[in-house]
Amino acid sequence: MAPASAVARKIPAPRLTGTNAYGAMLTVAHEPRLGPQPNSLDNAVANATHWVQLSNARRPDAMWLEAGAMMQRLVPRAEWVRYMRKIRVDRGALTGREWFEVTRVRDPVGLPAGDYLNVIFIAQFARAVLFETVSLAPGSAGWMPVGYVIRPVQREISFVQ
């Protein structure tokens, strides 16, 4: 499933006939202006995608530098680099990735209270198919990565024989 692209379209205002006072009160004098939405879902998916693409390019240092201060305080840079290199060695080369789901998480354990987003990707590596979850926290410039977890995709179990 690919993310829907944000396209701004001008919607024509409804035409009122007659002198209906209630209808006149319901019309909007000015159309709302759409501009950059730093904490939109599109921004979250774009930021998470950019961040995991740094992993593709074998740039764990850049991932750590672009992460939110919260993650940088919790995970030392050298530990992050070792973790990301181990993932590559264990799973092999990435052969494909697409985003699968975005979920909201409220007040996660171990992090400051608030609303967070998880952008979940399905990633095909040479030796495994995995879910990659990028956790994001809202920031002044948009969603900031604050965590990354990978786990195996479970195959459905059939109980009918």
Per-residue pLDDT of 21-64, as tens digits, reads: 544 444 445 555 555 566 789 999 999 999 999 988 889 999 99
Domain coverage including residue 108: 41-152
Domain-embedded: residue 56: yes
pTM of the model as a whole: 0.71
| Residue 156: band (very low, low, confident or very high) from pLDDT cuts 50, 70, 90 | low
Domain-embedded: residue 6: no
Domain-embedded: residue 19: no
Domain-embedded: residue 114: yes
pLDDT tens across 125-143, in order? Answer: 999 999 999 999 988 888 9
What is the C-alpha separation between 89 and 125, in angstroms, rounded? 11
Domain-embedded: residue 71: yes
Helix, strand, or coil here: 2? coil
Domain-embedded: residue 111: yes
How many structural domains are present in the chain? 1
pLDDT tens across 72-91, in order? Answer: 999 999 999 999 988 878 88
Domain-embedded: residue 128: yes
Looking up residue 47, the CATH number of its domain turns out to be: 3.10.450
